[in-house]
Amino acid sequence: MINKHLKGKPYCVTFDIVTDDRFRSSNERLEEQLKILKGIGRTITHKQPISINDLRKMYESGVLGTSNPLSLLRKVWFEVTLHFCHKGSESQEKLRKDSFDIFREQNGRRYIARTTPTDGDEIRMYETGGELCPVKSFEFYLQKLHALQPRLFQQPRRKSTPESPMWYGKAPIGEKALQQMMANISTASTLSKRYTNHCVRTTALEQFSHIRRKGNSALKEKSRSES
């Protein structure tokens, strides 16, 4: 691409930077760097489920937490993605504050679900109790968002303190930044691998598949006992 650019107007050079002996050393170094970059690329895990140890490390390290705007944003993003964003074509950039709501079952247990369920499938994220409860974190996150910005994921304000009534600015987080969320979480938490957003979806699908298998096994066992 660069070679073609140099041979065209306005440069019109007569030499070739790919084949000319004068550039042999530079080309050899470039080839070495490309091999290194390819090796780095192999360490990025695109569709592998996140291991239990790495899941635990994200929370224990405080990278996912509620003590500051960035850790709270990352925690809410991860838990929303884990439970609700399983379709690769779904744009997180378009999620709004009113895309989800907090509901309560007859027994009083609270959960988060989409305001309008998609494809007739109402996925729920239940409260677990404790400081890291996903429902409690989501509720706290909504309270700290900028009132005039309808988007769910907003830019953290740098000068916010724990006592600040608003932790996020009016600017929403862009699509490219959201696509790098899990990779950035991996680096900040020093995880065993550099996971991508696809890994969060794979982790969710694996968990749902495991729950479904356990449910089917329980039904089969019940049928055997009744027969």
Which CATH number is 75's domain given?
1.10.443.10
**Count of residues in the chain:** 227
Which residues fall within 8 angstroms of residue 146, CB to CB, at 6 or more apart? 154, 166, 168, 169, 170
Q: What is the pLDDT of residue 172?
A: 95
Of 80, 92, 59, 199, the C-alpha closest to 134 is 80
Do 111 and 141 sit in the same domain of this protein?
yes
Residues 28-39 have pLDDT tens digits of 665 665 555 445
Tell me, yes or no, whether 222 lies in a domain. Answer: no
Do 84 and 37 sit in the same domain of this protein?
no
| Distances, alpha carbon 209 to alpha carbons 53, 101, 104, 180, 212, in Å | 20, 25, 26, 26, 5
Do 26 and 65 sit in the same domain of this protein?
no
- Confidence band (pLDDT; 50, 70, 90) for 78? very high
Do 37 and 56 sit in the same domain of this protein?
no
Segments in the chain forming alpha helices (H): 2-7, 24-42, 52-60, 69-84, 134-144, 175-179, 181-189, 197-226
Do 12 and 95 sit in the same domain of this protein?
no
* Domains contained in the chain, number: 2
How far is Cα 165 from Cα 21, in angstroms, rounded to an integer? 64
Strands 110-114, 100-104: pairing is: antiparallel
What percent of the chain clears pLDDT 70, i.e. is strictly above it? 66
| Domain coverage including residue 89 | 52-210
Tell me, yes or no, whether 120 lies in a domain. Answer: yes
- Confidence band (pLDDT; 50, 70, 90) for 13? low
Residues 167-187 have pLDDT tens digits of 999 999 999 999 999 999 999
Of 170, 168, 178, 186, the C-alpha closest to 51 is 186
Tell me, yes or no, whether 47 lies in a domain. Answer: no
Do 6 and 97 sit in the same domain of this protein?
no
Do 36 and 64 sit in the same domain of this protein?
no
Tell me, yes or no, whether 218 lies in a domain. Answer: no
Q: What is the pLDDT of residue 112?
A: 94
CB 26 within 8 A of CB 41: no
Mean pLDDT of 85-104: 81
- Confidence band (pLDDT; 50, 70, 90) for 121? low
Do 140 and 74 sit in the same domain of this protein?
yes
Between 33-42, 68-77, 151-160, 173-182, the lowest mean confidence (pLDDT) is in 33-42
Residue 219 half-sphere exposure, CB side, CA atoms within 13 Å? 6
Do 25 and 70 sit in the same domain of this protein?
no
**More reliable by pLDDT, 225 or 66:** 66
Which tokens hold the place of 32? 């070495």
Do 76 and 26 sit in the same domain of this protein?
no
Residues 14-62 have pLDDT tens digits of 666 567 676 666 666 656 655 554 454 444 455 788 999 999 999 999 9
Of 91, 84, 83, 74, the C-alpha closest to 155 is 74
Do 69 and 22 sit in the same domain of this protein?
no
Between 8-12, 156-160, 222-226, the lowest mean confidence (pLDDT) is in 222-226
Do 170 and 152 sit in the same domain of this protein?
yes
| Distances, alpha carbon 157 to alpha carbons 58, 62, 64, 68, 94, in Å | 22, 18, 17, 10, 20
- Confidence band (pLDDT; 50, 70, 90) for 122? confident
